[in-house]
Chain A
Amino acid sequence: MIDTALASDRTIVPSVSFRRSAMRRVRANVEVPPLPFPWKRLAAALGFAFVATVASIWAQADSAAISVDPIPLVPLVIAMAVVARLTAGRSATRTA
């Protein structure tokens, strides 16, 4: 009885729109581009942070009449230089 029931199962025909729907999903899967990393925004944000930090330190030094040791700022300057170089490199690649 089990074999008879399962062997005699009817066959269904996919709907007319099946193929079109399937291909639509496949194409949608292909066409989503990856989000680019916002290098320029990062450089601008770091630049602003650097300027704000320097301005704040100088303002405090000026009001307290204390001489500011610039050495702690060196790592920040190096980081800015690296980011600027990377941004310049990416812009050159995009143009090419």
Chain B
Amino acid sequence: MTQNEDLSDVEAVLRGEIDRFEGIVARWEGPLVNLAWRYTRNEALAEEMAQEAFLHCFRKLRQWRRDAEFSTWLFALAINVYRSILRKRRPQIEEETALEVLAGACSTEAELLEDEQNEIVRRAVTYLPETYRDAIIIYHFDEMDLATTASRLGLPEGTVKARLHRGRKLLKERLEKVLK
């Protein structure tokens, strides 16, 4: 049903009915903002990034080939936009230092609460190298559906599996240092 609505709105926009693009925004604002949130852990920045993704979507709408689902194309485009924005924004900081500061700030008790530990894990993911970060974020965003993750990243499933494995290993090493 969503695919039919997307197709209808896309064709209308390409005919010049610009206002129909609002239908696409309405259907996909939640997923795109939440995907950006997982990359940044900052709600305002997540919205800014999602808006940029929609603008790119509008400009490149003619490039959508109907053989792929619109959502797959839209997510692949959004991921590229998010990567590009984060490369420009992210200062060169020591990830371990940032995580240690976060761990220290979360709680004064000897043991961190589970929620705080989970948030440190989520932040730590955003500091991973791009290839591992994207695989882990998209995989969990897609509720651990490997096929969907692979299609959104434009990679074979085997490659995504390898990146997930290496990314988790690196993440575990870093977290062991911070959450000792």
Contact = CB atoms under 8 A, between A and B. Distances in A.
A12 B46 contact: yes
Contact of A23 (B22, B30, B59, B117): B22
B40 to A, nearest CB: 11
Nearest to B13: A26
Interface residues of B, number: 35
The secondary-structure label for the interface of chain A is helix
The secondary-structure label for the interface of chain B is helix
A18 B48 CA distance: 9
A11 B37 CA distance: 9
Chain A contact-residue range equals 20 to 34
B81 interface: no
A11 B50 CA distance: 15
A29 B59 contact: yes
Interface string B120-131: 011001000000
Nearest to A24: B51
Nearest to A25: B55
Interface of B: 18-19, 21-22, 25-26, 29-30, 33-34, 37-38, 43, 46-47, 50-51, 54-55, 58-59, 117-119, 121-122, 125, 136, 140, 143-144, 168, 171-172, 175
